[in-house]
Structure 1
Amino acid sequence: MASRPAKKRRLTPPQSEDEGSSRQNAKVQKAFFKSASTWDLEQDYETKARKGQNKKGKESTRLPIKLSDGRLQHHVQAVDDDVQSVDDEDWLDGKDLSDDDEQDDEPVREEPQIPVQQQILEAKEELAKIALALNENPEENGAAFKALAKVGQSKIVAIQKLALATQLAVYKDVIPGYRIRQATEDGPEEKLSKDVRSLRSYEQALVSGYQKYVRELARYAKTGRNKEPAKGQSVASVAITCACTLIMSVPHFNFRGDLLKILVGKLSTRRVDEDFDKCLKALETLFQDDEEGRPAMEAVSLLSKMMKAREYQVDESVLNLFLHLRLLSEFSGKASKDHVEHDNMGPNGKKLKQKKEFRTKNQRKAMREQKAIEKDMAHADALVSHEERERMQSETLKLVFASYFRILKVRMPHLMGAVLEGLSKYAHLINQDFFGDLLEALKDLIRHSDADQEDEDGEDKPAFNTARNPTREALLCTVTAFALLAGQDAHNARADLHLDLSFFTTHLYQTLLPLSIHADLELGAKSLHLPDPDAPVSQQKASTSRNKVNLQTTTVLLIRCLTDILLPPWNIRSVPPLRLAAFTKQLMTASLHTPEKSTQAILALLADVGGTHGQKVSALWNTEERKGDGSFNPISESVEGSNPFATTVWEGEILRRHYCPKVRDGVKMVEKIFAPQRR
């Protein structure tokens, strides 16, 4: 059977480009005429022509014209760059040039402005609502910390201040009495109960929010560091106040170092204002209340680094902060700028062997049980071990001595008084090995004080640098040297280290006569400086009441030096007669020129010397008992070379006719002690 032949499909020949384009144009033309029946050409034409005018709305006053194709154009416009002409052909082509003009003319909708007072009121209500929720149940409102910070992101300064103060009050209430470990510090994941997991989530939210808050405080504090103080309290001032409050109330919590950087950064500025005093008071409170030792060590480390970076161009009160450390009265070791020795350690740094005490078996068992109980109680109360606190205090003491010694080498004039008085306060904590180097530094300071004074006269110094007083510095060095020796085991120290303080004794003897005619003898280092009239009264009272360092008058320093030389507390009977006689004669001569109160102080000192060493120098009041040969030389380069026993004390005859009755009584008392046969 024959198969059916396959049907062949007729293929349409490909259209040419001309035929395809003609068909497409035919379709477009058909669609155009179909929609043209619905057009209102006259109305659209009139409207389009009116919108094509310029944006200023000026109507054309020209007559219509006849175009080349016979059509009339009624709206003829003048040639202008800002005006676009619209004809029928452009309109028929679908060009709508009025869209841009309609978009430009459409007004921009602005959101309604809320008054500033209304925004502040709403922020107050929002902050109060969030703070109340945190105060009632903080563990269930961990997200509220972020909400508080978000309110403070406003551009209104008043809202920023309110947010900072509100966060301060909230964090002071919710911060626990222990440090919280961050999530990165935790160990491997453990199976935790629901309550523990909830508590940890809240603690992490607290730490995260507190960290952001401290960073905001640091950012705001930096903005006002180099700006002039405003009339009202600025945001920077509020931030510094918040940082000071936190460092005093919660110094144990996280990010303590960031808060200390804010305070130390403010203390590094040259301007002393209310914020500066707040930072000083906060650090003083931290030093006095620190039982652990670590916060004080961190603060002292930051202060020493800051002063070194600033080349010690800081205010004197910053250095005086070291005098508020608790180790000044608690620490029992001996230290220098490099190492520390404790009482139970030998010269090689090893612990001394203690003699074993015999205990019975029951006593040893009871002692072990007692130690275990004390250890558990210490962990429960979170007490710091004695060894840990002593180690922290040792590191702090090394930092303090390093700062003092660097300043002595640099010889900063406005810090000399604070450094020397600080060394005298810490005299009982200075290692004997460091004692010799320190005495050499004091001697070098006395030798070069005059040369440094001439060099500094031609240099520009900051406003807080005072004029250098070589005489006062020499007295401070002498007081410090004898205070250091008194703080040590003096007779053992001099025997072991072969220390000689005759340099200070000779220098003081040579300066007695120039000091007696000094115009500012009874004025302190800051008595000649008038208070700042622009400074607030509260600031002046705070500075004078707090800063009690380097305020002694020159007369007081002189009497302290003379007391250490003539009546040394470590060995009062070891003063040679030549030294006693030379100083007694020189002091009687100086009392003729000193002011009234200084003369009374000198005569009172001589009365004390006479009560102890009266027989050694009584020959000065009696010519028949003179033992010396030659002549007396009051300007001798050495005390013994003045030959005091070759003269007599004749100044008493003049002082008996002094105008002050107390001076006359003082002379009578001195003569009664040294020369009783004359009465």
Structure 2
Amino acid sequence: MSTRPSKKRRLTPPQSGDEDASSRSEKKIQKQFFKNAASWDLEQDYETKARKGKKKEKESSRLPIRLPDGRLQQVAAPAGDLRSVESDEDWLEDDGGDVSDHEPQERALPEKPDIPEPQQILEAKEELAKLASALNENPEESVGNFKAIAKIGESRIPAIQKLTLATQLAVYKDVIPGYRIRPISEDGPGEKLSKEVRTLRAYERSLVSGYQAYVNNLAKYAKTGKQQEKSAKAARGQSISSIAITCACTLLTSVPHFNFRSDLIKILVGKLSTRRVDDDFNKCLQALETLFHEDEEGRPAMEAVSLLSKMMRAREYEVDESVVNLFLHLRLLSEFAGKASKDTVEHADGAGKKVSNKAAKREFRTKRKRKELKEHKALQKDLAQADAVVGHEERDRMQSETLKLVFATYFRILKLRQPHLMGAVLEGLAKYAHLINQDFFGDLLEALKDLIRHSDAAAEGGEAVEGAAAADDEEDGDAPVRNPSREALLCTVTAFALLAGQDAHNARSDLHLDLSFFTTHLYQTLLPLSLNPDLELGAKSLRLPDPNAPGTPHPSTATTTSAGNKVNLQTTTVLLIRCLTAALLPAWNARSVPPLRLASFTKQLMTASLQVPERSAQALLALLADVGGQHSRKVAALWDTEERRGDGAFNPLSASVEGANPFAATVWEGEILRRHYCPKVREGVRLVERSMLQK
């Protein structure tokens, strides 16, 4: 059905009469308009026209108030009250205006719905799981997920930040390759790459940039203050700094070959710079120990030792002794074959290498042969880098630099005489004795002698040398106190270990070492040590304070740990046995010990066995049994009352070992020790007499 048109069109042309009438009427109207316009005064009309101006501010109708001091103060009315006195016309004018000026402002700032924090955490978990799963399935096609995961971690909710750090740790552990990614600048210029290689390069570039940002976040979160840690403990959860340190430790032990290894080590070293020992501190120690044990290349260990030495020097060696003990876990203790000091390193096979290099230079090669040899070496180098093969020469060079750093640190601590680090340094020197250069021996022995003299002076004067604690560690506990007797024993052990490690019986003409100072000091300290009540207590042993001692705190406030024995973990008895074994039964030449020294120590040890506890007595008697097994003919006269080799009287307090005149005395202590309450001590005395009287 057709629709009817809305307007009819005139199909026939208009008549001429109608046109003339219409034109005349239009001309008449136009003429009348111009006639009236001549009399218009437009400027005056515009000037007298009422125009809308700015509305005057409504005055407040409130009365003034009188202040307590008598002054009058005008009270301003609130905005709501001023609005209420406006007239209806003003209200109508305001409403009659353009409403669109106000409505867009309200619509431009819509109120966001407040999502509860548990709901946000749940959504973040789901999103992180989704992104991480996509990266694990096909990382090259999900390159953007690295930034997406990091974007979620920008939330202000601590729980979401912790979840993001843990998720990134799991993702990077899975996707990091088994090689270090080189910068593009290391590639050759103008290198043509295939499509697959370009795709791989783009993925590696995104991986390195995302991993760098993640490591920077770990470093930032690891430096959070104690206030956040306290708030996390109050909330019964781990702080974000603890999470960051755990992630850094895991990455360092899992992927030590990858990029930004130095940044991870800096995070751990920064935590070790404080003397507040907690769980995070122990995690960093274990991570570095694992790194040292599993380091086959030598470069990671050198970087860690370099950063540790710089940190300790900046802190003026006010660090925990466990940080110095990290050097005992280096692989060069069992792998390195050279000799070093704090400045130089001598390789055992250096001469052979020089001869072989000269012989190789004498060989004639043509230009073509040299070119082929050069290309072959470059190819071998690339293959070694691709297969992560470590050359022996490179590893020896790294271990040499590491050893110099270790010796320099030890020597500086010896010079500064840090009381809480003496045990760790002396123990380290004893371990590294076989790697110390002979030219370095004189300085070390003089430093050890000065340390013993200083300890004796401190013991005689009764002064306790306290280490200065850092300002941020004031609440961690008591300051370390020097223990002179233990330090002297450690110095003696170190001196004999240095001599034994150098094969002194083969190089006596070169070394010219005299250890009589240490032997005499050991003899003079036997009787005082036998009266020490803490002889069998280690450095970290628990003990109760003496209630009768002056200045003893109340038992309710007294601590059960001793801050004065932070030398090392060995008991004083163990240190004493080590010193006596090195002095009386040297491994390199046991027959060179003079009879006077053997007799003086034997008589003094039998006297000390009457005073020490039962376990220490068993250890001393076992040592005397070993002495009798090797030197029974030299000391058997002490058990024979009818045989005398010397005149005069025995002087147990002699200033020298030889001046004690031991053969003028007899071992009468055995008769008392046979009636000892401990069966094992009685058995030890019988073994000593049996070994001494054998022919």
When normalised by structure 2's length, the TM-score is 0.77
Find the counterpart in structure 2 of residue 75 from structure 1.
none
State the AA in 2 paired with 1:393.
Q
C-alpha contact 2:458 2:464 (8 A) present in aligned 1:
yes
How far apart in 2 are the matches of 1:94 and 1:563?
106
C-alpha contact 2:467 2:479 (8 A) present in aligned 1:
no
* 1:192 shift after superposition: 2.2
Find the counterpart in structure 1 of residue 344 from structure 2.
339
State the AA in 2 paired with 1:589.
T
Matches within 5 A, 1:501-540: 501-528=515-542
State the AA in 2 paired with 1:147.
A
Find the counterpart in structure 1 of residue 43 from structure 2.
24
C-alpha contact 1:629 1:646 (8 A) present in aligned 2:
yes
What secondary structure is seen at the aligned counterpart in 1 of 2:533? coil
Greater Cα shift, 405-414 or 440-449: 405-414
Q: Can you list the C-alpha shifts for 1:134-166, whole angstroms capped at 9, x where unaligned?
A: 112111222221111111101111111111111
Find the counterpart in structure 1 of residue 270 from structure 2.
265
* 1:226 shift after superposition: 7.1
Q: Can you list the C-alpha shifts for 1:175-212, whole angstroms capped at 9, x where unaligned?
A: 11111123455553433222221111111111111111
Matches within 5 A, 1:15-414: 23-27=42-46, 83=82, 109-224=110-225, 228-229=229-230, 230=233, 231-345=236-350, 351=354, 378-414=384-420
Q: Percent identical across equivalent pairs? A: 72
* 1:436 shift after superposition: 1.7
C-alpha contact 2:466 2:479 (8 A) present in aligned 1:
no
What secondary structure is seen at the aligned counterpart in 1 of 2:207? helix
Q: Can you list the C-alpha shifts for 1:108-149, whole angstroms capped at 9, x where unaligned?
A: 852211111111111112111211221121112222211111
Match of 2:607 among 586, 589, 597: 589
> In the superposition, relative to structure 1, how do residues 295 and 647 fare at CA in structure 2: closer, same or farther (>3 Å)?
same
* 1:651 shift after superposition: 1.5
* 1:552 shift after superposition: 1.8
C-alpha contact 2:420 2:467 (8 A) present in aligned 1:
no
What secondary structure is seen at the aligned counterpart in 1 of 2:525? helix
Query: Do residues 675 (structure 1) and 693 (structure 2) align?
Result: yes
Find the counterpart in structure 2 of residue 610 from structure 1.
628
State the AA in 1 paired with 2:525.
T
> In the superposition, relative to structure 1, how do residues 25 and 280 fare at CA in structure 2: closer, same or farther (>3 Å)?
farther
* 1:573 shift after superposition: 0.5
* 1:623 shift after superposition: 3.1
Find the counterpart in structure 1 of residue 554 from structure 2.
none
Find the counterpart in structure 2 of residue 60 from structure 1.
none
What secondary structure is seen at the aligned counterpart in 2 of 1:444? helix
C-alpha contact 1:345 1:352 (8 A) present in aligned 2:
no
Match of 1:568 among 586, 589, 607: 586
Q: Can you list the C-alpha shifts for 1:463-516, whole angstroms capped at 9, x where unaligned?
A: 364332111111111111111111112123432121000000000000111111
Give the length in aligned residue pairs.
591
State the AA in 2 paired with 1:264.
V
State the AA in 2 paired with 1:603.
L
What secondary structure is seen at the aligned counterpart in 2 of 1:338? coil
State the AA in 2 paired with 1:135.
N
> In the superposition, relative to structure 1, how do residues 27 and 669 fare at CA in structure 2: closer, same or farther (>3 Å)?
closer
C-alpha contact 1:493 1:499 (8 A) present in aligned 2:
no
How far apart in 2 are the matches of 1:219 and 1:92?
60
> In the superposition, relative to structure 1, how do residues 213 and 464 fare at CA in structure 2: closer, same or farther (>3 Å)?
farther
How far apart in 2 are the matches of 1:433 and 1:286?
31
Structure 1 unaligned residues grouped into runs of 5+: 1-20, 37-47, 57-77, 358-364, 531-547
* 1:245 shift after superposition: 0.8
When normalised by structure 1's length, the TM-score is 0.79
C-alpha contact 1:344 1:351 (8 A) present in aligned 2:
no
How far apart in 2 are the matches of 1:459 and 1:559?
29
Q: Can you list the C-alpha shifts for 1:76-103, whole angstroms capped at 9, x where unaligned?
A: xx9968637667999999999999x999
How far apart in 2 are the matches of 1:600 and 1:252?
51
C-alpha contact 2:467 2:480 (8 A) present in aligned 1:
no
Find the counterpart in structure 2 of residue 427 from structure 1.
433
> In the superposition, relative to structure 1, how do residues 441 and 258 fare at CA in structure 2: closer, same or farther (>3 Å)?
same
How far apart in 2 are the matches of 1:661 and 1:652?
14
Structure 1 ranges of 4+ moved more than 6 A: 51-56, 87-99, 105-108, 352-357, 371-377
Q: Can you list the C-alpha shifts for 1:555-601, whole angstroms capped at 9, x where unaligned?
A: 11111111111111111110111111111111111111111121121
Matches within 5 A, 1:624-663: 624-663=642-681
> In the superposition, relative to structure 1, how do residues 185 and 553 fare at CA in structure 2: closer, same or farther (>3 Å)?
same
C-alpha contact 1:582 1:642 (8 A) present in aligned 2:
yes
C-alpha contact 1:333 1:341 (8 A) present in aligned 2:
yes
Find the counterpart in structure 2 of residue 62 from structure 1.
none
Query: Do residues 448 (structure 1) and 454 (structure 2) align?
Result: yes
Q: Can you list the C-alpha shifts for 1:31-55, whole angstroms capped at 9, x where unaligned?
A: 98xxx9xxxxxxxxxxx99x98999
* 1:673 shift after superposition: 2.7
> In the superposition, relative to structure 1, how do residues 467 and 28 fare at CA in structure 2: closer, same or farther (>3 Å)?
same
Find the counterpart in structure 2 of residue 666 from structure 1.
684
Find the counterpart in structure 2 of residue 72 from structure 1.
none
C-alpha contact 1:525 1:553 (8 A) present in aligned 2:
yes
State the AA in 2 paired with 1:121.
L
- Structural RMSD (CA): 3.8
Find the counterpart in structure 1 of residue 26 from structure 2.
none
How far apart in 2 are the matches of 1:456 and 1:226?
34
* 1:549 shift after superposition: 9.2
Greater Cα shift, 286-295 or 221-230: 221-230
Query: Do residues 494 (structure 1) and 513 (structure 2) align?
Result: no
How far apart in 2 are the matches of 1:436 and 1:152?
58
How far apart in 2 are the matches of 1:605 and 1:79?
100
State the AA in 1 paired with 2:533.
A
How far apart in 2 are the matches of 1:79 and 1:344?
97
What secondary structure is seen at the aligned counterpart in 2 of 1:623? coil
Q: Can you list the C-alpha shifts for 1:362-415, whole angstroms capped at 9, x where unaligned?
A: xxx9xx9xx989878645522011100110011111111111111111112221
State the AA in 2 paired with 1:516.
S
Find the counterpart in structure 1 of residue 66 from structure 2.
none
> In the superposition, relative to structure 1, how do residues 136 and 492 fare at CA in structure 2: closer, same or farther (>3 Å)?
same
